[in-house]
Structure 1
Amino acid sequence: MSANRASEATRATDGTETAGGGGPAGGDRAAPDTYDVIVLGGGPTGENLADRVHAAGLSAVLVEHELVGGECSYWACMPSKALLRPVTARSEASRVPGLKDAVAGPLDAPAVLAHRDAFASYWKDDGQVRWLDSAGIDLVRGRGRLDGPRRVTVDGGRTLVARHAVAVCTGSRPVLPDVPGLAEAKPWTSRDATSSKTVPGRLVVVGGGVVGVEMATAWRALGASVTLLVRGDGLLPRMEPFVGHLVAESLAEAGVFLRTGTEVREVRREAPGGPVTVVLGPGDEIVADELLIATGRAPRTEDLGLETVGLTPGGWLEVDDTLRATGVPGGWLYGAGDVNHRALLTHQGKYQARIAGAAIAARARGVPILESDRWGAHSASADRHAVPQVVFSDPEAAAVGLSAAEAERAGHRIRVVDHDLGAVAGASLYADGYRGRARMVVDLDREVLLGVTFVGPGVGELLHSATVAVAAEVPVERLWHAVPAYPTISEIWLRLLEAYRGD
C-alpha cells in the first residue's frame, strides 16, 4: 500500500513527457538520462515530491537503493502501529462493561506479528513500484551520489542530469552511542524492533523518547519482560511533563520496569544470538535476550557526494523555508524530510515535499516566489509553528505547536489552561476509569493558540482539530463558536475555553 496520493498525471502514449519550463523531456531530451528533477530517496517524502513536480508538468526520476516506500512503510510508522493497535484496542476494551472478560486473555502474538507483516507489505515494494509507474515517475535502483552541480551518479556507472533541481530525501538512520561493547553486541535498532519475527523473553530498551516508549508498550503486551532505561528523569521529554508522567504510570501498571537517571556503561554479548548483559555500574547489571537502542538518529548524508557541491558530508542539510539548500550556488539543491532536521516525522516530510515540489515547479516556470509570505504555498512554516505528533503508547499522547516551556523560551506572554480529560462525558463513555489531561497554551497578546497537548486513550484523533486551530491562528473567541458534539471526548474544547474565559 502506498503512503502517497496517486497522481492523475500519466505518460503520453508515445513515451514522451511534458516538461514545464525546461523543454521537452521525452524524445527531444539532450541525453536519455536527463530529467527536470532528480529525487534521491524513495520514502514517502521522495515519492510525494516526485509526484508534485510531475503533476506540475516536470519530468522526475526517483533513485532508491533499498525498498521504495522507505523507512515509514517497512520499519517505522506502518509496522510499529500495526504492532501497537491490538495493544491499545485490548486495553480500552478491557475498561468497557461487557467486554472485560472477553479480552482478559493474552494477545495472540503470532496473529499480531502476521498482521504487522501484512502492513509492512512483507518487506516487498511491488505495490509502491506499480504506483510510481502509474504516476509517470521513473525509478532507478541503486545508491545515488552527487557529482557536481545537477549531476548524480548511480551504482553501476549510470549518470543522471537535472535541468532544474536535485532533491535530497534520504531520511535518517539510528545512531548507536559510544558505549564499550555495544556495537559488537549487535543490539536492536528501531528497524529490528519493528520487524522481529519472535517475541524476546527479556528485552531491555534504552531511550525514553517515542521509539523507546512505543516499543516498550508493544513488546510488553506481546509477552516480553521489558526494562526501560532512561538517562533523564522522565519519558517523552519534548512534550509537556504531565504526558511522560501519565505514560510512565501506565507502563508500570502493564509490568514494564522503568529506571530513570541511568546510563549504560558497558554491553557484553558472549555469543551471537546469546544473552546480552547491560552494565549500569559496579554490581548493577541486567541480563536480557535482546537490547534495543533508541537514543537518537543521524542524517543519511555521509555518502551522498555533498563535498562535490561545497557542502560537508555527514551532517544535516540546512535549508530555507522553501526547502532549498543554503550555501549552494544556483539554488538547484533541495532537502526535504528527516535529512534537514526540521521535524523528523513522516507527515512533516510529506508536507515539506508538497512545499518543495511547488517551489521547484514555480521556479522552473519563472514564477516569482514571495519568500516573506509566511503561510504561502512555497513556505514550510508549519515546521516551526504547528508540528503535530502522536505517540501511540497506552495511553496515547498527542501535541501540536509549542509546549508552555517552549513558548516562554520564545518570549511569548502566555496563559496555560489545563483540564482533566476524563471529566468530560464522552471520555466516561469511552472507557471506565478514563485517565487523561488536556492543555492549551494561549498567546495573550494575539489571543490565539500556540500549542495544544492531549494525553489519554484515543486522543490521536483529537489532534487535527488542534492543528487547524494552531496553524490557522484561529482567535480564541472564534473557537467559542466551534461547537463540539455531545457526548464526545471533543467536548474537552468547550471545557478548556470555559476555563480560559472564566465561565
Structure 2
Amino acid sequence: MTRAVEHEYDVVVLGAGPVGENVVDRARAAGLTTAVVEGELVGGECSYWACMPSKALLRPAIARSDARKVPGLARAVQGPLDAEAVLAHRDYYVSDWKDEGAVGWLDSIGARLYRGHGRLDGTRRVSVEGPEGERHLLTARHAVAVCTGSRAALPDLPGLTGARPWTSREATSSHHVPDRLVVVGGGVVAAEMATAWQALGSRVTLLVRGSGLLPRMEPFVGEHVADALAEAGAEVRTNVSVAAVVRDGGTGPVTVVLEGGEQIEGDEVLFATGRRPRTEDIGLETVGLEPGSWLPVDDSLLVAGSDWLYAVGDVNHRALMTHEGKYQARIAGAAIVARAQGRGTDTGRWGAHAATADHAAVPQVVFTDPEAAAVGLSLAEAERSGRRVRAVDLDLTNVAGAGLYAHGYRGHARMVVDLDSETVVGVTFVGPGIGELLHSATIAVVGEVPIDRLWHAVPAYPTLSEAWLRLLEAYRDGGAAE
C-alpha cells in the first residue's frame, strides 16, 4: 500500500459543494490555510443535479404557462416546448457536467483541492485516497467541516434495484423525454419534476402515498399544484402505496405494482421519496459517531460533544435546502475563524456565530406551476408550538396585480400572526409569479416586525405585493380577505 503523504492545514473541509465552498471562502478570507476534499464534481449536487438543472428545466414550462394566460400573447404560445432546446439550456447551466470553473475559483482564493474519497481518521485528521491510488493524510490545526450533503433515499421494494429507477439525479440530467413517466412521491422533487417532464411532453402519473402534494406546506398549496398538474394532463393519485417494481432485464417498459395488485406501466419511474445523509463511509466510527447517521449540531454548527468537528448543510438535517446550507456555512466559517483566533463565539458582527434562521424562519420556493413559497411556521406548526395565533387568508384574485399578471389568475396567501407579540410568524403563498414575494415575508418573520409597523411598508400598485396590504386589512378587520 502506498504510504500516505502528510499535510497540515488550519481547516479541512469534506465536500466541495456550495456548502463546503462557503466554509472554505470564509476560512480563506480570514487568512486560514484550507484544504477541501471532493470525490465527484466541485460545485456539488446543487450545481449539477439539483437546483440549477431543475430550475433550467422548469423555467420554460412556467414561462409558457404564464404566457398562455396573457391576452394578445396566448395564441402565439400554444405549441409544444422545444425539448431539445430546453435540454441544451439545462446542459449549459450545468457546464456539461464539467467543473473547471469551480476548480478555478478554489485556486483563485488559495484553497487546496484534493480529489478523491475523504474519510475521517481520528481527531482532526482526514485521509484521502485519490483516483490513481495516491494517499494523503490531512491534519487540521483548528477544524474539520463535514459538508458531504445528502443523496436520494430509495425504499426497499421488490424489483426496484434491477428496474434502474430514476432518482432526482436522473430526473434532472436525462437527455431523453420518456413517453410515460411514473413519479412516486409527493414532496418538492416529485412535484417539480412532474411539472417539468409533463411540460416537455411526458405523460406523467404521480403516485402519492399521503392525502396530498407538498404536505409540509399549508394544505391549500398542494391542492392548487395538484389541480394545475391535472389540468396540464398529468394523473395525480393520492393515498396509494407501491408494493413492487418490475422491469425485465432492466430495459424496456417498467411496471409499478400498487398494493392491491393494480399495475401502472411507464417508460421510466422516478422515486422521489426522501433523502439520507452522505455519511455512511466518511470515517465517523473513528471519532465515536455512527456511520450513515445525521449529525446533530449546536447553533455554531459544531457537532455535539466535539470542539473541532463541524457538520454543515444537509448532513445535520436542520434544513435540507441549498440556501440554508450556505447560510449555515457562513455561520460555521465565522465560528471557526473566531475560535481559531481565540475570540470565542459569543460576540460577532451581525450575530455571525449562531444559526437561528433554520429553526423557525426557513424560506422555500417550490418552482411548480403555480409556484409555492413559504417561510416560518404553518398554522398547524404554530398551534403545536403552543403559541396563541391567528391565520388570515387571502384569495389572490382580490389583488389588482394578479389580473394584470395573468387572465384567470388563481392563488392563495396565508399570514400567521402571533397574537401576543403581534408579529408575523409564518407566511405562505401559492400562485403564478409569487416566488419573488417571499423575501419580503422572510424579512417580516426574521425581523419580528410588529404589525403596526408593517402598515407603513406600502406596496407598489398594481403589483402582486399588494397582497400584503390585503392581508393586513383582513387582520385589522378580524376576518379573512376572501
| 1:318–1:326 contact (8 Å) kept in structure 2 | yes
| 1:323–1:352 contact (8 Å) kept in structure 2 | yes
3-state SS of the aligned residue for 2:123? coil
Aligned AA for 2:188? V
Partner of 2:333: 357
| 2:240–2:259 contact (8 Å) kept in structure 1 | no
2:468 matched to 1:465?
Answer: no
1:283, distance to aligned residue in structure 2 (A): 4.3
3-state SS of the aligned residue for 2:249? coil
Partner of 1:341: 317
1:56, distance to aligned residue in structure 2 (A): 1.4
Aligned AA for 1:36? D
Task: Identify unmatched segments of 5+ residues in structure 1.
Answer: 1-30
- Distance (whole Å) between structure 2 residues aligned to residue 184 and residue 283 of structure 1: 20
- Distance (whole Å) between structure 1 residues aligned to residue 371 and residue 13 of structure 2: 35
Partner of 1:383: 358
| 1:362–1:368 contact (8 Å) kept in structure 2 | yes
- Distance (whole Å) between structure 1 residues aligned to residue 89 and residue 253 of structure 2: 28
- Distance (whole Å) between structure 1 residues aligned to residue 225 and residue 283 of structure 2: 42
Of 478, 482, 493 in structure 1, the residue corresponding to residue 453 of structure 2 is 478
- Distance (whole Å) between structure 2 residues aligned to residue 281 and residue 383 of structure 1: 37
Of 249, 255, 259 in structure 2, the residue corresponding to residue 277 of structure 1 is 255
Aligned AA for 2:156? D
- Distance (whole Å) between structure 2 residues aligned to residue 281 and residue 139 of structure 1: 48
3-state SS of the aligned residue for 1:33? strand
Aligned AA for 2:372? A
1:138, distance to aligned residue in structure 2 (A): 1.2
1:273, distance to aligned residue in structure 2 (A): 2.5
- Distance (whole Å) between structure 2 residues aligned to residue 493 and residue 126 of structure 1: 44
3-state SS of the aligned residue for 1:163? strand
Aligned AA for 2:383? E
Of 181, 189, 196 in structure 1, the residue corresponding to residue 159 of structure 2 is 181
- Distance (whole Å) between structure 2 residues aligned to residue 273 and residue 49 of structure 1: 43
Partner of 1:146: 120
1:423, distance to aligned residue in structure 2 (A): 1.5
Of 308, 312, 332 in structure 2, the residue corresponding to residue 332 of structure 1 is 308
Of 56, 63, 66 in structure 2, the residue corresponding to residue 82 of structure 1 is 56
Q: Deviations over 1:83-117 (max 9, x none)?
A: 00000000000000111111010000000000001
**Count of equivalent residues:** 470
1:282, distance to aligned residue in structure 2 (A): 4.3
Partner of 1:130: 104
| 1:176–1:183 contact (8 Å) kept in structure 2 | no
| CA RMSD after TM alignment | 1.3
2:229 matched to 1:255?
Answer: no
Partner of 1:452: 427
Q: Deviations over 1:243-272 (max 9, x none)?
A: 000111000000110110110011110023
TM-score between the two structures when normalised by the length of structure 1: 0.92
Q: Deviations over 1:339-395 (max 9, x none)?
A: 000000000000000000000000001113229x9x821110000021000000000
Aligned AA for 1:109? A
| 2:6–2:137 contact (8 Å) kept in structure 1 | no
- Distance (whole Å) between structure 2 residues aligned to residue 403 and residue 460 of structure 1: 17
3-state SS of the aligned residue for 1:37? strand
1:32, distance to aligned residue in structure 2 (A): 6.5
1:53, distance to aligned residue in structure 2 (A): 1.0
* Percent identical residues: 70
3-state SS of the aligned residue for 1:86? helix
3-state SS of the aligned residue for 1:470? helix
- Distance (whole Å) between structure 2 residues aligned to residue 458 and residue 327 of structure 1: 45
TM-score between the two structures when normalised by the length of structure 2: 0.96
- Distance (whole Å) between structure 1 residues aligned to residue 449 and residue 335 of structure 2: 27
Partner of 1:21: none
Instruction: List 4+ stretches of structure 1 deviating above 2 A.
Output: none
3-state SS of the aligned residue for 1:361? helix
